[in-house]
Structure 1
């Protein structure tokens, strides 16, 4: 079976041999057998799981490329009366570690009636739509299902010369799922 062992960024290849259409979860894989929309079967066999974006190419071991396309899926469009309000809503969504696709004037998230109720309670508007979902990669290098917890530690002391100063440091760690 043909293998795809590397990912080419969108725009870096021409004339794909086939296209594979996958939803958000289906585009975060390391190893899986896939069949393109045109029938080309291959094994995705990457060194580590990556978040494939719509437009990325999968380089097959015979030199051909299979284009990745984001499948439409059930989403909720979050909007607000002004950019500042939308920014506040983005903060609340981010505080819940939700994958979010940020566009001009709207935020797209996966459908979740509890989150929709929260957004409405904060004065935002929600509308259910079906669209491709390519959320922000975030600070953790893509869709990694990771959560980071920061722990800060600080201490201060004074010197005999009558002045004092503080030292602080922090570290983060992530939990991979």
Structure 2
């Protein structure tokens, strides 16, 4: 089993041996065993609290094997509205400590029927999609799952 212990920022020049598609939640696991598409097992033994980002490069202790992390498409709710309404929605989601991806044109969160109903009541358009999900890490770099 390959063990990856070091994280490097995304770099398109790095020649990678493997890619590992992970969901947003899986990218918060700093110590976990995953199985690659070819059935090979890899173990992450990163600094506790490490949150991986799309494109990050992981290496083993000898830095001889490189693996790229890919944000795996997953079911999400994409919230669409004009900025003032998006800000209001972000406020309400933040009060619930929900992991949210924030852009100037949409908010994105994991599917939740209660939150979907609340957002619909606020007048937001909600679209169900399967896309890579990259929530904000939070003010202190932590990734909380409420």
Q: CA offset at residue 109 of structure 1? A: 0.5
Q: Residue 83 of structure 2 contacts residue 104 of structure 2 at CA under 8 Å; is this kept in 1? A: no
TM-score in terms of structure 1 length: 0.74
Classify the secondary structure of the residue corresponding to 2:98: coil
Q: Which structure has the larger Rg over C-alpha atoms?
A: 1
| Pairs within 5 Å for 1:37-116 | 37-38=37-38, 40-63=40-63, 64-80=65-81, 82-116=82-116
- RMSD over equivalenced CA pairs, Å: 1.9
Q: CA offset at residue 50 of structure 1? A: 1.3
Task: Kindly provide the CA deviation profile for residues 129-162 of structure 1, in whole angstroms up to 9, marking residues without a partner as x.
Answer: 111111011112132448xxxxxxxxxxxxxxxx
Q: Residue 75 of structure 1 contacts residue 131 of structure 1 at CA under 8 Å; is this kept in 2? A: yes
Classify the secondary structure of the residue corresponding to 1:21: strand
Classify the secondary structure of the residue corresponding to 2:5: strand
Structure with bigger RCO (C-alpha 8 Å, 6+ apart): 2
Q: CA offset at residue 13 of structure 1? A: 5.6
TM-score in terms of structure 2 length: 0.89
Q: Which has the higher strand share?
A: 1
Q: CA offset at residue 18 of structure 1? A: 0.6
Distance 2:27 2:37 in 1: 15
